[in-house]
Structure 1
Amino acid sequence: MDSTSFLLLLYDRFLRLDVPLVLLGVFLFRLAGSKAYRLFIYPYFVSPLRHLPGPKNHHFLIGHTLNQFRSGHPNEPFVSWMRRWPKTPLIRYFDVGNADAVLVTSLEAHKEILHAKVYSFQKPPFFVRLIADIVGFGIGFAEGDEHKKQRRALAMKYPQECLPNSPVLFSTKNLEGFIPLLRSKASHLSHQLDDIIRTEGGVVDIVSLYSKITLDIMGQFAIGRELDELTGQSGGDNSLASMPFHACYRELFEPDGVGQLLIAINGVFPIRWLPLKANRRFNQAHKTLRSQIQAVIQERIRALDPDKTGAATAASINRGSVHHGSDENSNETKDLLSWMVSRKYYADGGNNHRDRWGEDEIRDQILTFLAAGHQTTADALTWATQLMIQHPAEAQRLRAEVVDLLRRCGTHPPSCRDIETLHYLHNFTREVLRVQCPGINVAREAIHDVVVQGVLIPKGTTVLMQPAIIHKNPTIWGADCDEFRPDRWDSLTPGSEAADPWAFAAFSHGPRICIGRAFSMLEFKVLLIELVSRFRFDGLGRNGRMAHEIKLVNPSPMLRPDGGLKVRVERAM
């Protein structure tokens, strides 16, 4: 058979084949080859990260995810890895699908990622799915130039020629305007604890108690309203459609075991569409919260419409129902919503439409501040109470300093300046946040190939940073880094890593540092002053266990006791 005949025979046989089936086979073969390459060849023989130190006990399909779930602690096994390789700036581990991931351990590497090359990274998709449903797509999820614009709008003062008389939203003067609110809520907390002492023998779940009070504070800060006033409309496929704001919020933040599992899975694979009871409750609570916030936004837009109310009426509204913040350049007061409506929705009288925010953008910012602002402070108070129980001498020392200030102030409530004079309180709060930092992960993903500490981080690589990695690092904080010792802040050696501002990572750093950190610390201190001056706490733990046996929610974006934390409270004076 000559070559021409052979080719004609092959062509004839090809025409007899089922071409779609052949094409499907080729596609599946290529897909299988690609997956095999990513799973078994690239990680071990090609990846530029293959020479980094890191753990090997992973599963080839889900990486170290199962190890993290089994650890019982949301900071593990990451802290253990850091202590195994304490001097390496980057540790390589495996994510789902044997994908490369990097744990950041050194201060210098943190500075590169969070400051020098901050916009070379973005929040990874799994983190967005895990968190954004709850906290909204506000400034926390803005990227690149959009993040810069939102940051300037919320934190900084515009040039006078662009926006005359614009306030600094988080200025000291504006925050001082919220001191009466904080004192009022702190007093309300005291009344609640007195009632519990009288009716329940002093046994209380501090997790739910603190969460409620800090959410109420953030409601006033964010929208100038009591959240108890907000209720949903009737209808929907379950009772959450007509439940108050707090009940819907608990559904999102404190789900049952099935709900927690679905949150974890949804971070890897989107499953909110599955017709499960826990999903239906989550989705309905999610919808109800947004509708409640949307209604408040629309009400405020009407109230602050400059064409209908005029500046005098708007100022009157700000001094009335919205009366907790202070405009730096006038006597008006501002909550976050009133500020955004007047400065961003109406965009300087409508002359600067490029900077205008719509209702959805304002709603997402409100949800972000409500979620991030209340839960971190509530958890900080929880761990402060636990640490006072475990360290009674430190608690007594803190109480003595606070009581002395209150005695000196007499009938005059402590001002911001008075509070800042409490040196031991300042050390105490920082040490609480160092030892038991409420925030767990700062996750990023490289948007292009980027070099960090001389190591090429390929595009798409997950980069994980945890405050605990810095706070629990013995090469930074010494061999006693796990101990609660507020006085360590007075003995930091100049020039040492512990004295570096980046060694305190509770609020992150760089352009994406927590924008509300000043308000959060002020709130934390005011509430703690109220608690330590009036009450003492004894440990019961959960279900009678001691405090050191607390079970934690895991996985979780926050360091939280699983099932709450019961303690016994009694009057101190």
Structure 2
Amino acid sequence: METLLWLAASVAGTVSLIPNNNAWSLPAFKTFLAIFCTVFALRKAYWLWVYPYWVSPLRRLPGPTDHHFLIGQILNQFLSGNPNEPYLSWMRKWPDADMIRYFTFGNSEAILVTGLDVCREILSAKTYSFVKPAVHEKLLRPIVGKGLLFTEGEEHKAQRRLMAGPFSLTKLKSLIPVFQQKSQQLSDYFDRQIASQNGIVELSSTYSSLTLDIIGVAALGADLQNLDAPTPFHECYHRVFEPPLLGQALLVINAYIPVRWIPVKENRQFKSANSEVQRLTREIVRQRIKDVTGREGGGAVGNTNRRDLLTYIVEETYATDHPWSEDEILGHMLNMIAAGHETTASALLWATYALVKFPDVQQRLRSEILALLEEAPIPSYSEIERPKYLDSFCKEVLRVWCPAISTPREAAEDVVIKGVHVPKGTTLMLMPAVIHLNPRIWGEDAHIFNPDRWERKPLDPHAFAPFIQGPRQCIGRVFSMLEFKAVLIEMVAKFCFEAVDGTDNIVLVNPSPLLRPKGGFHVRVRRY
């Protein structure tokens, strides 16, 4: 291939030396064009049909062969009806494999990670040898901004250090009253539904409203009150995270081929929703910078007596020699709002599904929570963390129904993993469900919901992956778990959750970055 490319370059050089005379240059140009097209076609043929099967160092890895020409497994995933498929099926088909090779768009190779040793190398030992794939960034960045999620290398390290202050345990403890206050408002909402709707509640929208209200106060210092009436924030995120079928297809296609310019309703709704969220958030960020520094462009850091994360971030960055720009702060806040409220809302939904599906678990959890509230009617941090069964229940929900679907990485350089040479540019797909439901890691009952499994000897930290591990671990992990537990303490103590028609017939949104039921999730709520 290199010889042919050199020949083409030589012809190009020759053409450039020919005098500007049509009688001489046209034949030479035709010759060059013919050679160039031949080289281009041979190069494409090499990467499509020769390299993956006869040359690639990944060719000996096990993997599916039912991919489609040029689009690989994308169509199979889209038709599977589950955002975790067909990856889970591959894990079960090759139970002893640590890595499974498959094809994606353009017949490019990708690796599904199924072994903990491989996870450890990617996420901990060789973290900065990998970056977020461009495809993943195109998929999510319009929704969640840049922030920590899409920074790499030294920039990520520096931002992580600065964010450590706002996300310190001391700061997060001060937000517990926010979690508890909003949880009480959820109880009021349930009471209204019991009075007006015989207790039938659609939880997907309800929990999204609740967690958006929590993140509004805790992160932005803005009381959105979505449980009373949906705000533009809620309506925009609903359009983004639950698009119609064509919207789902466009979301995936745009990651590979730009299609957002096509003048269809789904594109207009997607772009307008994201633009509105950014506009609203920017207004809050701009005002907070002005409040903290005393003027809009920056200045001395003052004391606003606020306790939201945005204020902490502005105070931290403006106390340095190189404060973040408005756009940089906006990126971090978009990260928090989008990822912070939808993932917890999803976790609460699947927790309620578990309570409905396993009444004995619901009763046991309620007994433990009531015992806690007898001793501490308004639990502190240490008291929220004390109940063992609550902790096990939360972890088991996140294991069986992890909200986040994937955390893909791309090799930023040639790297060796467990003796396998992984070429630069290779995508490695890390999927919590593939680890959490893997019998080789969790035993033959890996598919069964059982909170008691957490009483056993602790596993490898990488076996529990809702927040991943290593230097790129989710910085909001403690925030999310505190919020999750605080809401469960409030609602399980006061309400019983029961199935209604259709509760078990869940259809998942697919494709989707989150594990979400399509069309919402209805249950009956009853006061104790």
The TM-score, its normalising length taken from structure 2, stands at: 0.92
Q: Please tell me the residue identity of whatever aligns with 2:478.
A: A
Q: Is the 8 A contact 2:254 2:260 kept in 1?
A: yes
Tell me the CA shift for residue 19 of structure 1: 4.1
Corresponding residue number in structure 2 for 1:188:
185
Report the number of matched residues.
504
1:60, CA displacement in angstroms? 2.2
Matches within 5 A, 1:111-260: 111-155=120-164, 168-227=165-224, 244-260=232-248
Distance in 2 of aligned mates of 1:267 and 1:16: 41
User: Following superposition of structure 1 onto structure 2, how do residues 125-524 of structure 1 map, counting pairs within 5 Å?
Assistant: 125-155=134-164, 168-227=165-224, 244-305=232-293, 314-315=302-303, 317-318=304-305, 322=306, 334-344=307-317, 346-348=318-320, 352-353=321-322, 356-409=323-376, 412-492=377-457, 499-524=459-484
CA displacement at 1:301 relative to structure 2: 1.6
Correspondence list, 1:100-119, <5 A:
100-119=109-128
- Which residue does the alignment assign to 1:329? none
**1:258 Cα shift?**
2.1
Partners of 2:46 and 2:295 in 1: CA distance:
63
Counterpart-to-counterpart distance in 1, 2:310 and 2:273:
22
Who is 2:4 aligned against? none
Q: Does structure 1 residue 550 correspond to structure 2 residue 506?
A: yes
Distance 1:174 1:17, change over 3 A: closer
| 2:503–2:523 contact (8 Å) kept in structure 1 | no
AA in 2 matched with 1:404: A
Corresponding residue number in structure 2 for 1:495: none
The whole-number CA distance in structure 2 between the counterparts of 1:176 and 1:311 is 29
CA displacement 1:46-92 (0-9 Å, x = unmatched): 10100111111111211111111111111111111111112221111
Question: For residue 9 of structure 1, what is the aligned residue in structure 2?
Answer: none
In 2: Cα distance, 1:380 partner to 1:192 partner: 19
Shift of 1:286: 1.6
Tell me if the contact between 2:123 and 2:471 (Cα under 8 Å) persists in the aligned partners. yes
Check whether the contact 2:294–2:300 (CA below 8 A) recurs between aligned residues.
no
SS across alignment from 2:243: coil
Give identity over the alignment, percent: 49
Three-state SS of the structure 2 residue aligned to 1:537 is strand
Within 2, Cα distance between the matches of 1:377 and 1:72? 23
1:77 aligned to which of 82, 86, 96: 86
1:14 deviation in Å? 9.0
Q: For residue 88 of structure 2, what is the amino acid of its counterpart?
A: V
CA contact (8 A) 2:461 2:469 kept: no
- In the TM superposition, residue 249 of structure 1 has moved relative to its aligned partner by 2.3
- CA displacement 1:96-151 (0-9 Å, x = unmatched): 11111111111111000001111111111110011111000110000111111111
> Counterpart of 1:227 in 2: which secondary structure?
coil
Q: Secondary structure at the match of 1:81?
A: helix
For 1:553, the aligned partner's letter is V
- Contact 2:145–2:331, Cα closer than 8 Å, also in 1: yes
Q: Report if the CA contact (8 A) 1:123-1:445 is conserved.
A: yes
SS at match of 1:91: strand
Equivalent pair of 1:228/1:245 in contact (CA under 8 Å): no
Q: Distance in 2 between matches of 1:104 and 1:312?
A: 48
Give yes or no for contact 1:129–1:270 (8 Å, CA) kept in 2. no
> What 5-or-longer segments of structure 1 have no aligned partner?
1-12, 156-167, 230-239, 323-333, 493-497
The AA in structure 2 aligned to 1:278 is E
Q: CA offsets, 1:184-239, max 9 Å, x none?
A: 1000001111101111111111010001100111111211112359xxxxxxxxxx
Name the aligned partner's letter for residue 151 of structure 2: A
CA contact under 8 A between 1:228 and 1:246: conserved in structure 2?
A: no
Return the alpha-carbon distance in structure 2 between the equivalents of residues 299 and 228 of structure 1. Answer: 20
- Which amino acid in the other structure matches residue 319 of structure 2? A
**C-alpha separation in 2, matches of 1:287 and 1:199:** 36
Alpha-carbon separation, structure 1, partners of 2:280 and 2:480: 24
Structure 1: distance between partners of 2:176 and 2:456: 31
Higher mean C-alpha displacement, 429-438 vs 254-263: 254-263
Question: In the alignment, is the contact (CA less than 8 A) between 1:420 and 1:426 conserved in 2?
Answer: yes
Summarize the Cα distance change of 1:408–1:125 in structure 2 as closer, same or farther, 3 Å threshold: same
**Aligned equivalents of 2:368, 2:290: Cα separation in 1:** 47
8 Å contact kept, 2:135–2:255? yes
3-state SS of 1:42 partner:
helix
* More deviation, 358-367/80-89: 80-89
Give how far 1:396 is off.
0.4
Supply the RMSD in Å over aligned alpha carbons. 2.2
CA deviations over 1:426-480 (Å, ceiling 9, x no partner): 0100000011111110101111110011100001111001111111111111111
Corresponding position of 1:10: none
Contact 2:301 2:319 in 1 (8 A): no
Query: Does the aligned pair in 2 maintain the 1:539–1:568 contact within 8 Å?
Result: yes
Contact 1:39 1:60 in 2 (8 A): no
Q: How far off is 1:22 after superposition? A: 3.7
Shift of the 546–210 alpha-carbon distance from structure 1 to 2, 3 Å rule, reads: closer
